[in-house]
Amino acid sequence: MTDPKNPALLVTGRRAQSCPFEPASELTALREQGDLPSISGEHPFLGHFDVRAVSRYADVRAVFAHEHLAAGANVVDPDGPRTLFNQPGFLLSYDGPEHARLRRMLTGAFTVRRLQQMRPWIERIVSAQLDAMQEADPVVDLVQLYALPIPSLVICELLGVPYTDRADFQHRSAVLLDFTRTAEEQIANYTGMYAYMAELVARLRAEPGDSLLGEVVGKHGDDVTDEELIGFGNLLLIAGHETTSNMIALGTLALLQNPEQLAAVRDDEVTTPAVEELLRYLSIVGQIGRHATTDLAVNGHEIAAGERLSLSILAANQDPGLVGRDAGLDVRRKPVPHLAFGFGAHQCLGQQLARIELKAALPALLRRFPTLRLALPFEQIDFRVLSPVYGLKSLPLTW
């Protein structure tokens, strides 16, 4: 197993070496402190930096909700190279009225009613991928044959992206989320992503169609720039398959380590609470950043203008203040208001789509292959550690 204590990873996102689903001991120790301690980190674009760690549930939730603790700078350097951090339309880089303006253009695509209408289609995708698994070698990589194709097919359809292009954007997404890559590698990688999405946007301007981005063009026209549409597209393309695919694979692994709970999910006894519990317990986006735009106080903690914060969603979601003394996996737990999708103005737009995909994918997999098991020792599983989205590089299974 990859060592989750690599010093290049902020402590606010580190997993325990003894159990890669749970917070590292040093992160738990941070949560038990009464203040917001200063920690250090490295970033391919920001270099070395200091942040204050926010790890208790009440504090993380309060920071998410505070209007003066910002996610982005609302500033794009037109002369700088395009990156995910320097791209108009990338919602995570905006706050306030400009964030609200851009987000409103996308909310209509993610209403619960519209997404529920997609459920039968998503279930057909799941069934087709299960058929592909069954026809494959008795040892299969769940990531490549199941966890990644399902959300990729869905987001390709929503965005009007040819599924035949999936290998390219999956590779570019993986590079983008690999914190071991240099700034030069990241810039070159994003240049390709930008060019691909620019071509798609040009086609949509000429003929919008009924895809998600096409609807934005049709409804908002001159109110949205091509650059903003490119930012929308790349954000949704990455978020739409990276997060859900890692939840499917990591959730399957967690259930395989808990056979009694796996049986409850397989038999469809607890699908909704199980999905919420897996989202909470695994917290695949383990930490996220914020910065103060003015001097302020949150839950009695004084924060100076310009200070950076690292919010540990991982620690917050396993805080005894949220779930009691036993924070371990319990698929029968009554759902709690976890922070896996964030909270406040930046709460994940696609969270209901992710829930539908997980509710379709996990029980169906376990029912189709009731003897599903690991094809290698647990200790040899390769976790994707140095990434803002935690997950698995592969998951060899047999049955």
Residues 155, 200: Cα–Cα separation, whole Å = 14
Which pLDDT does position 7 carry in this prediction?
44
Which pLDDT does position 43 carry in this prediction?
63
Highest-confidence range of 38-42, 113-117, 265-269, 279-283, by mean pLDDT? 279-283
For residue 338, is pLDDT > 90?
yes
Which pLDDT does position 34 carry in this prediction?
82
* Tens-place pLDDT, residues 369-382: 999 999 999 999 99
* Tens-place pLDDT, residues 223-252: 999 999 999 999 998 888 889 999 999 999
Closest to 109 in 3D by CA, of 243, 220, 228: 220
Which pLDDT does position 190 carry in this prediction?
93
Which of 3-12, 90-99, 121-130, 200-209 comes out lowest in average pLDDT?
3-12
How many other C-beta atoms lie within 10 A of the C-beta of residue 342?
19
The architecture (CATH level 2) of 11-398 comes to: Orthogonal Bundle (1.10)
Position with higher pLDDT, 240 vs 271? 271
Q: Please name the residue ranges forming H helices in the chain.
A: 25-32, 57-65, 96-107, 112-117, 119-135, 142, 149-159, 166-176, 183-206, 212-220, 226-256, 259-266, 271-282, 313-317, 320-323, 351-368
Which pLDDT does position 6 carry in this prediction?
46
Which pLDDT does position 74 carry in this prediction?
78
If pLDDT is split at 50, 70 and 90, which confidence band does 46 have?
low
Which pLDDT does position 28 carry in this prediction?
96
Closest to 375 in 3D by CA, of 15, 133, 125: 133
Domain ranges, ordered by start, for the chain: 11-398
Long-range contacts of 325-328, Cβ-Cβ distance < 8 Å, separation of 24 or more: 327/22, 327/281, 328/22, 328/281
Give per-residue burial for 9-37: e unless 16+ CB within 10 Å, then b.
Answer: bbbbbbbbeeebbbbbeebbebbeeeebe
Residues 387, 177: Cα–Cα separation, whole Å = 5
Q: In Å, how far from its chain's centre is CA 205?
A: 29
Average pLDDT over residues 347-371: 96
User: What does pLDDT average to over the chain?
Assistant: 92
Give per-residue burial for 68-79: e unless 16+ CB within 10 Å, then b.
Answer: bbbbbeeebeee
